[in-house]
Amino acid sequence: MCVRRWNFAAEAIMCGSPMANTDLMPTPGAFDPVPTPRDITPRADGRVDLIGLPKARIRDLFEAAGLDAKAAKLRSKQVFHWLYHRGVTEFEAMTDIAKTMRPWLTERFVIGRPEVVEAHHSTDGTRKWVLRTADGNDFEMVFIPDADRGTLCISSQVGCTLNCRFCHTGTMRLVRNLTPGEIVGQVMLARDSLGEWPKGSMAGLDEVEDSAEYTSDGRLLTNIVLMGMGEPLYNFDNVRDAMKLVMDGDGLALSKRRITLSTSGVVPMMERCGEEIGVNLAVSLHAVRKDIRDEIVPLNKKYGIEELLQACADYPGASNARRITFEYIMLKDKNDSDEDARELVRLLKQYDLPAKVNLIPFNPWPGSDYETSLPERIRAFSDIVFEGGISAPVRTPRGRDIGAACGQLKTAAEKKSRAQRDREAAEAAEEKSAA
Ligand code: SAH
Ligand code: SF4
């Protein structure tokens, strides 16, 4: 995951019964199958976690649990508001719901959050959380505060199937898609941690909310980037459903203009991303030559640079006011020459792209194959792109001391599982030699 992404947030940035079998199932569609749980993860106590579910789904569950249609509609509206807009974690706190109704809800439903396994605070203010799903998969989330905004970098998958050579997440063995609840749950957890839910009384849904209380002004968390672990466009439906909750005016109420989705170039899903989610797009370009991009972003062998840039040119909603961000990692003697910079400008102009470029100094991790470009090389590269009329700021790594910088995200659980495997191998070898 990354560090610089945070910086461009402002401009850029079940059916069936709840008790149905919810084993992992393959992602439908034409791409690499990634295991994904159904939208309602089963719980040992049989209750259903409402987080991640849209209002209509909550209404259906209430009706299935015995409320008549009218009551189910009203209650789902109230509960939705309390869950996503007010951030309450107990049904008891829902003061406009009859006292007798609250235990009924508590017996059948829960209001979940991802479990926090670790929380780190960097000397530069960056915060990183290691989170755990109910079935024991770890993933990470990072918050990067800046002078004028605070950006939350969230994960869309546990690990990533794409194996970009410079990215630590790409080396993870464990992979599954995160559910809508696990995705939106990250934003909710961040608001919990930052103390940023609206406070004050709420007598009823028709009450006119106090604007000072309910706008995002003054909040630390202003922007979201889907730049943590995983490839969001390989988990399209869940990411879309989660973002809809984030953007819903009666939900988390964050503008689509403050959300940026980063893709390594899953061309067939880009148009739907613009149409169905409508957020800002960031593209991990990283190289302008086929041989180099094939090496560092292996997905390039499937969807090449020209195809990718054409999909960017066709991205719904892109304009000079809403430019596409091209992420370019600076790897010493790999993709950082003057010639590369000139070719970058030429390509972006050829496709007439409303573009800005983010130059990201490579963040090394143990065992990585590359070195970071020298600062003067990065400056020279940036100057050439600027002279070509395209903004190309260099992103300062943030949170390196806590392993929160772009590309450094790889969970302790994964590291532990490898350590565990090593221990088991050593124990097995000992047993063998003892026998
Ligand atoms: N899978 C998506 C989003 C998550 S990766 C994508 O690839 O776009 C988000 C960003 O982190 C990408 O731009 C990626 O290039 C960057 N990144 C990965 N490893 C990095 C590293 N070691 N140093 C700096 N940035 C890195
Ligand atoms: Fe996956 Fe993005 Fe890392 Fe590539 S850079 S391995 S697509 S998370």
Which atom of ligand 1 lies at the shortest distance from residue 1's CA? 11
Q: Is 202 in the pocket of ligand 2 (CB under 6 A)?
A: no
Q: Which of 360, 368, 372 to mutate to test the pocket of ligand 1 (most atoms within 8 A of CB)?
A: 360
Task: Give the list of residues 6+ apart from residue 17 with CB closer than 8 angstroms, or none.
Answer: 64
Distance (Å) from CA 165 to ligand 2 centroid: 9
Q: Output the residue whose Cα is nearest ligand 1's atom 21.
A: 407
Ligand 1 is surrounded, with C-beta below 6 A, by 1-2, 160, 166-167, 227, 231, 262-264, 284, 327, 329, 360, 362-363, 406-407
Q: Output the residue whose Cα is nearest ligand 1's atom 1.
A: 231
H-assigned helices in 217-329: 236-247, 267-272, 290-296, 305-313
H-assigned helices in 278-335: 290-296, 305-313
- How sure is the predictor about 10, in pLDDT bands with cuts at 50, 70 and 90? very low
Q: What angle do CA 112, 206, 75 make, to 5 degrees?
A: 40
Active site residues: 140, 406
Distance (Å) from CA 200 to ligand 1 centroid: 40
Q: What is the DSSP string of 376-394?
A: HHHHHHHHHHHHTT---PB
Distance (Å) from CA 408 to ligand 1 centroid: 9
CA dihedral 168, 174, 179, 183 (to 10 degrees): -20
Burial (Cβ within 10 Å: 0-12, 13-18, ≥19) of residue 28: exposed
Q: Output the residue whose Cα is nearest ligand 1's atom 25.
A: 406
Tens of pLDDT, residue by residue over 62-78, are 999 999 999 999 999 99
Contact 384, 338 (CB under 8 A): yes
Tallying the residues shown for the chain, one arrives at: 435
CA 193 – CA 202 distance, rounded (Å): 22
Q: What angle do CA 4, 405, 175 make, to 5 degrees?
A: 110
pTM metric for this prediction:
0.85
Quote the pLDDT of residue 264. 97
Q: Is 264 in the pocket of ligand 2 (CB under 6 A)?
A: yes
Phi, psi (deg, nearest 5) at residue 18: -60, -20
How would you label 414-425 residue by residue, b for 16+ Cβ within 10 Å and e otherwise? Answer: beeeeeeeeeee
Least confident span in 102-111, 182-191, 209-218: 209-218
User: Helix, strand or coil for residue 121?
Assistant: strand
DSSP state of 289: S
Tens of pLDDT, residue by residue over 321-352, are 899 999 999 999 999 999 999 999 999 999 99
Quote the pLDDT of residue 339. 98
Contact 75, 97 (CB under 8 A): yes
